[in-house]
Structure 1
Amino acid sequence: MVKQSKVQLMLTVLPVLSAGLYLVGAINRESYLLEFGVDESLFVQSIDRVLLQGFSSLMSFGLMPFIYGLFIALLLVGAVILAVFLSVFPVVHRIHGAVQRRLLSATDWVRKVGRGALPPAPTLVKLADKSEVLYGYILLLVGIASFLVAAVILSSNLGKKQSQSDKKLWAEGKHRSALVVIDDEAAIAAFHITCGSSHCAFWTGNEARVVRHDQIKRLNVKPAMEKREAK
């Protein structure tokens, strides 16, 4: 029985966790590329890469979001423990019984208003009996949705800030720089944003250039200026 409950817990938690990490990773990458003006559809990543980026994004949110998340988790655990503790008191049973009686009286009132036109509603009676379970599921779904929305918003902001930081560091010579020759053009210094299966994207300081692999005649990536001077 215990083993079955653990399996059920894993089957419930893993899909939510995977979906959350995938959303965070995908939104983070999309906002990062959009800040450069690059269409992310040309640079599709595999699912495992997106999940890895989602996990690294969560680790990069900073101390304060981590503290907030931990505080929320502690509040949820405390609420569950409090609910279990209070459930043993007779007053809680009386309150629950009063709620059930109100629901049942509402059903009787609807029947009277309909003058017998409405058939008995056993579903509503069962709903009243299982109201606590229903409320628990609703709160759980709302909590999961709230977490996913908050994680997506944080991930989007993080991707945008990361791209802005990369632009600034590259302009100051504190980030890696690429010397690239495209077709028959002169070599240009640019920040190497990313590469996909068919295209690569570069930031020249004024605009982003997305070129096909066959257009790149030469590509040399150099470390940041400070690292070269240190050597």
Structure 2
Amino acid sequence: MGGLALGIGMMVDSSIVILENIFKKRQEGLPLKEAAIEGGAELVGAVVASTLTTAVVFIPIVFVEGIAAQIFRPLALAPKGIVNKLLEAFKKVYGKVLKWALKFRKTVILIVMACFVGSFALLGSVGVEFMPESDAGQIGITAEIQSGSQLEETEEVVKEINERLAQFEDIIRVSYVSIGGSSNGVSAGTTNTATYMVELVSSSERDITTKEFIAQVTDLVGDIPGAEITVADQSS
């Protein structure tokens, strides 16, 4: 939706600029049709250049990976789609629709008002969220055993976790563990805490989501004796 809003915003901005130039031509005394043709023709190059510069800025985002790709890639693809496809499809019917709308102005206004008022009835059934749930595949696992335990005891817990995670080796891209410290890396020197960082393969290469993986791993390692283990999504 963000990408679509960006593309439509670019189209509206360009339309406003052209309409202002057409209005200027009308004030100079040109007939409506000639004012529209000349006013639009004068700004074709500037509008196309402005649109292309915006599209070019977003091209590198297409190659970004991870959570940034999930958030910003639609913004990069939408302007390209708007310029190359949507405008081509709409321009075939836009003229006919515009003529009909201008001919039946009152009907159009009533329809728009009815749709606007009716949209409030959908507020209760349409979900909203500030940030869409990501599936970046970055998970943190923290295993903590009794304070004062020896390093060997923590290593035994780590070994057990490794054995249980082995069944997911086909979807785990990178996994490393550190003993000592906390999951946020602030404290250090403790031997009773082990911290894992796990990165899964891309969502297109696995059959389960990050959320499902976390649930399965939580159930899988939850019964390891003598350890309190938490599994959390690190991509949010």
> TM-score higher than 0.5 here?
no
**Bucket of the pairwise TM-score, normalised by the shorter protein:** under 0.3
Q: What TM-score does the superposition give when structure 2 sets the normalisation length?
A: 0.27
Higher RCO (C-alpha 8 Å, min separation 6):
1
Please identify which structure carries the higher helix content: 1
